[in-house]
Amino acid sequence: MKTIRLKNMKIYAYHGVNNHEKKFGAEFQIDLELTYNNKSFISDKLKDVINYEELYVDVENCVKENKFNLIEALAEKISNDIMLKYTVVESSVVRVRKPFAPIKGIFDNIEFEIVKKRNDYE
């Protein structure tokens, strides 16, 4: 098995429960981890691997083009979109962080993680 990780993608978007979040937006941080099995390291050809830039753009578009109240729903959408498009992926882990969540308290960020397996889609 092979693993690709895109860590700490920072994307400005308009997700949240309260009106301030929906109007002014905030930074969201996303980690994506995909495991797959193919011959990419044997062929050394870009066409045989998951293109990192394309993957980043797919995540960025998903985050920017949709609006959710909850980061849980956003993580679910990212995960589903990736698993449906990249059929060689056996499992995915998506983490969505909201470093400036409007709640009382001292914290680095709020994070939600979702794990999906290929057999979740069969």
What are the residue numbers of the active site?
Answer: 98
SS3 readout for 22-70:
HHHCEEEEEEEEEEECCCHHHHCCHHHCCCHHHHHHHHHHHHHHCCCCC
Residue 105 tokens, joined: 């308290």
- 34 in Cβ contact with 4 (< 8 Å): yes
- Based on its alpha-carbon atoms, the radius of gyration of the chain, rounded to whole angstroms, reads 16
Alpha carbon distances (Å) from 50 to 24, 87, 88, 98: 34, 10, 9, 27
- What phi and psi values does residue 65 have, to the nearest 5 degrees? -85, -15
